[in-house]
Structure 1
Amino acid sequence: MPEVWSAPVRFAECDPQGVVFNGHYLTWADEAVAAWWRSVGLPFAETGVEQLVKAAQLEWRSPARHGDTVSVDAELERLGRTSLTVALTVRVRERVSCRVRMTYVAVADGVAVPWPDQVRALLDR
């Protein structure tokens, strides 16, 4: 079952047309990924490695506007040796607003490294 993070859309997140500016979807994705890490039992900062965004993909579907509440589902899509991809769906009520895919790479001293065994064990369950 995906982890869900939600928040009201703030006026400052909207462009002059009253639609959420695209960069805010990535901020919401980051918040949802942090909540997802907590839900698997390991806060983001306690994975034992640095996590850097290697790739982010957004596919916009319909607008989110000031006054809406967005909810973001986050679930593991793929676990590799040194990277993982989280699939996220941003919704306003039941309507899909945006789909986001975030790929993170585990890094130590600036070099990609395998995910620690404790992380892999939590994600493999």
Structure 2
Amino acid sequence: MPEVWSAPVRFVECDQQGVAFNAHYLVWADEAVNAWWAARGLPWQALVERGVEYFVKASSLDWVSSARYGETVAVDVGPAAVGRTSLTLEFTVRVGDRTCCTVRTTYVATVDGRPTPWPDDVRALLSAG
């Protein structure tokens, strides 16, 4: 999985021990998913202009170690599963070679708020990795 997003851990993202608060791992995954789509030539706005939006259906997090104030987190993203209307991505949040957390998020493609199959060209792009 290639790195698609990184940033230093900011003071505001940490607790009193200087450890990144757990909710920020989801924020980092959100930042990374936008970069992941853009790297594939489909920034969020391009999908919206086609009438397709995607929403989070579920997320799970598995922590291994803590990211700390002043460290730089990098997020690697790769597809874990492509369904008819869904896409599950796996985000590996790491500091250097040390994995901090793995986030698995399932998104659902929608039109007018209802699940819809991914357009054929988008499905081909997703299936290609």
* TM-score, with length taken from structure 1: 0.94
What's the counterpart of residue 61 of structure 1?
A: 64
Query: How far has the Cα of 1:4 moved from its partner?
Result: 2.4
Query: How far has the Cα of 1:3 moved from its partner?
Result: 4.1
Segments ≥4 residues shifted beyond 4 Å: none
What's the counterpart of residue 29 of structure 1?
A: 29
In 1, distance between residues paired with 2:111 and 2:96? 40
DSSP-derived class of the 2:88 partner:
strand
DSSP-derived class of the 2:117 partner:
coil
Which amino acid counterpart does residue 110 of structure 2 have in structure 1? V
Equivalent residues of 2:80, 2:89 under 8 A apart: yes
* Segment drifting more, 96-105 vs 111-120: 111-120
1:68-113 superposed Cα distances (whole Å, 9 cap, x missing partner): 0000000111110000000010001110000000100001112100
Pick the aligned partner of 1:85 from 85, 88, 91. 88
Which amino acid counterpart does residue 18 of structure 1 have in structure 2? G
Equivalent residues of 1:41, 1:122 under 8 A apart: no
In 2, distance between residues paired with 1:16 and 1:3? 29
Query: How far has the Cα of 1:118 moved from its partner?
Result: 2.2
Which amino acid counterpart does residue 39 of structure 1 have in structure 2? A
Which amino acid counterpart does residue 9 of structure 2 have in structure 1? V
Query: How far has the Cα of 1:40 moved from its partner?
Result: 1.4
In 1, distance between residues paired with 2:82 and 2:17? 39
Pick the aligned partner of 2:113 from 93, 110, 113. 110
What's the counterpart of residue 16 of structure 2?
A: 16
Identity %: 62
In 1, distance between residues paired with 2:95 and 2:3? 16
What's the counterpart of residue 100 of structure 1?
A: 103
1:11-40 superposed Cα distances (whole Å, 9 cap, x missing partner): 000011210000000000011111111111
Which amino acid counterpart does residue 20 of structure 1 have in structure 2? A
Which amino acid counterpart does residue 5 of structure 1 have in structure 2? W
Aligned residues: 125
* Segment drifting more, 91-100 vs 33-42: 33-42
Aligned CA RMSD, in angstroms, stands at: 1.1
